[in-house]
Amino acid sequence: MELVLVGLNFRTAPVEVRERVSFSKDQAQRAAEELRTKGILEETLVLSTCNRSEVYGVNPNANRESAHALSAYLSCFHAVQPDILNPSLYHHYDHDVVRHLFRVSAGLESMLLGEAEILGQVREAYLCAHENHATGPVLNRLFQAALEVGKRVRAETELGTRPMGIASAGMKLAERIFGKLNDRSALVLGAGTISEQVISQLRDRSIGNLYLTNRSREKAEEFARQYKGKVVEWGQWDVALKLPDVIVSAVGVQDPLLTKAMIERAMSARGNRALFLMDLGMPRNIDPAVAGLYSVYLYSMEDLTGIVEQNRNSRQSEVPKAEALVEEHIGKFISWQASVELTGLLDVLRSTLKERRAAFLQEKLSGVNHFSAQDREQIGGLMDELMDRLLVRPAERLRAEKEHRKKIQSVEAIRDLFLSDREKP
């Protein structure tokens, strides 16, 4: 049994190559099926996200040829020239596969260190492969362990607690003031990419009321349809500003769009209830003097970048803790793998010894005529019992061995000492 992994990610491949080698759900299912029917892999799982495409499998043979066959298959499946694809691919075997997957699900291999989405993507890929019977006992165990590692890293370290994106950092800050945002309202000025990111974050938090405004009313209406918001007329600030608890501005203007006097009027209209402002425009859309107003919390792009940077450093300091958890689970998985191998090895050893015992008795008793068939059977049975007794204690001792390295070494020693290459499982 050998685990194999062939894949590429944002570190090894440019986005153009990653786009060509990504798998849709159907493609992943088809590839897994073909790889098994062609005998390249025994068990298969395809993990494809925007930053990585990886094929995990169990090699039916003890050699490493399947990795090359897998590379060739990927090249053929996605119709990408091998000379373009191969330099971007990485190959991992056995324990390195375990380590890589565990690090992936822990978020240690993500572009955004500790991101939470990857755990969901690993889970989804596993459930999909499991439903299609593409996985077997080894990959089931491996991916269940990977999901456990991911969960523990997020629960026991600070790796995933602090926001890493500008938009999510802003939303987390708003939650520091209001708590849950589901009974709050927000106004988004602008309809660009940044505004879209913010709206997405607001929708993720089930914002109560979403108001949108933009110079181009059509664009605002398009956004409103897409995100179930309400359009507010551009420029009618006195009406628009008294509605929301959160205001996000990301438009291109030369002079501040929202002045101190406008916010003062809005605060007076809303009875000084706290107001959270996110200025994501460059140059700034909101007069910085607004920050000094009572119960007004203004964060500019620069402030939010600073917070994200603080969080990045904080997350980096959590990496050793996460790595220690990964190593702990690698040890557990290797131990399980060694136990499974030991069971298989003992079965092969027992049947090999039985064959040799039968051949031995045949040879030695061939010239002896005074033994009846029943006697010969009894002698054979006694020899089998003796062999079983001889095997029981070492097998128990090996199973109980807690040191993974020693266990694996012992398994290898038995394999080398008692079995020929042909007989090795």
Give the burial class of 364: count Cβ atoms within 10 A of its Cβ; 0-12 exposed, 13-18 middle, 19 or more buried: exposed
Specify the residue, 140 or 161, whose C-beta has the smaller distance to another protein: 161
Strands 209-213 and 43-48: unpaired
Is 313 near another protein (CB under 8 A)?
A: no
Is 176 near another protein (CB under 8 A)?
A: yes
Is 271 near another protein (CB under 8 A)?
A: yes
Q: Report, as residue numbers or ranges, the catalytic residues.
A: 50
Query: Which of the stretches 31-39, 299-307, 352-360, 366-374 binds another protein when contact is defined by CB under 8 A?
Result: 299-307
Query: Which of the stretches 73-81, 189-197, 305-313, 393-401 binds another protein when contact is defined by CB under 8 A?
Result: 305-313
Task: Give the burial string for 14-47 (b: 16+ CB within 10 Å, else e).
Answer: eeebbeebbbeeeebbebbeebbeeebbbbbbbb
The answer for residues whose C-beta is within 8 angstroms of residue 36's C-beta and 6 or more apart is 42, 43, 44, 134
Specify the residue, 44 or 311, whose C-beta has the smaller distance to another protein: 311
Q: Are the C-beta atoms of residues 165 and 112 closer than 8 Å to each other?
A: yes
Specify the residue, 310 or 409, whose C-beta has the smaller distance to another protein: 310
Q: How far is the CB of 314 from another protein (least distance, A)?
A: 7
Specify the residue, 271 or 367, whose C-beta has the smaller distance to another protein: 271
Q: How many residues does the chain have?
A: 425
The answer for residues whose C-beta is within 8 angstroms of residue 375's C-beta and 6 or more apart is none
Residue of 299, 322, 326, 398 interacting with another protein (CB under 8 A): 299
Is 84 near another protein (CB under 8 A)?
A: no
Q: Determine the residue type at 378.
A: Q
Give the burial class of 389: count Cβ atoms within 10 A of its Cβ; 0-12 exposed, 13-18 middle, 19 or more buried: exposed
To 5 degrees, how large is the angle CA 135–CA 150–CA 175?
135
Is 175 near another protein (CB under 8 A)?
A: yes
Is 155 near another protein (CB under 8 A)?
A: yes
To 5 degrees, how large is the angle CA 335–CA 341–CA 345?
140
Residue of 78, 99, 152, 172 interacting with another protein (CB under 8 A): 172
Q: How far is the CB of 176 from another protein (least distance, A)?
A: 6
- Interface ranges with another protein (CB under 8 A): 155-156, 158, 161-162, 172-173, 175-179, 268, 271-274, 291, 294-295, 297, 299, 303, 306-307, 310, 314
